[in-house]
Structure 1
Amino acid sequence: MMNCIKKVTRTEYIQLRVTKEEKQQIFANANGNTSMWLRAVALSPNTCHAKARYKIFKQDPALIRHVALIGNNINQIARHINSVKKSGSLVDLVAVQAQLVLMNSQLSTLIQQTP
């Protein structure tokens, strides 16, 4: 008995620009097969959990933009700390941690206030 599964030949491609952090997050979410995961998410949008979460906050795009900017700043801080540590310089980790705790608290307050 022969296998009756027909192989699909894909001849088209879509190019997408992302940041390094977004690329890493996509690869992490894909869990090994990025093409298959992206295809599944894009072709079945009603089953995508990320889209459902986005709809909750879609009412306030300014809030989403500001939270994204805060996340970007946190990534820059982490990148700077890692580069300073690699160079052998001292970093005041206690002060940095205190600022991160403060930002986390402020973000939690914003999230609780969002309808």
Structure 2
Amino acid sequence: MDSHLLSSNHFVGGIPSEIGNRSMLKYISLSSNYLFGSIPRELCNSESLVEINLDGNLLSGTIENMFEQCTNLTQLVLGNNHIHGSITEYLSELPLVVLDLDSNNFTNIIPVSL
């Protein structure tokens, strides 16, 4: 099992796009740091990825069509950031068991399909 469990380490900066290049990567947890900027699309390069936890950072940008390549994603935790834009219906096509988007700046209502 390959994982990046790096929560609560006072990391500052952007999320490196190369983190998604590990083909066996299953878990990414970078919660409770000081990460800012957009979430890199490359996080979903690993087909094995099942959990992403980026809660409690300073991330911004949108998630529109961001995770549609994460076809095995069961847990997506993005709460307590500065993410904006729309929550799109493609998320309902993922096998999500946990979806946490609280305390962000989304502009639409949650799609009924979710």
The verdict on a shared fold, with TM-score over 0.5 as the criterion, is no
More helix, by proportion: 1
Tell me: higher relative CO, structure 1 or 2? Use CA pairs within 8 A at least 6 residues apart: 2
> Highest CA radius of gyration, 1 or 2?
1
- Give the TM-score normalised by structure 1: 0.18
More strand, by proportion: 2
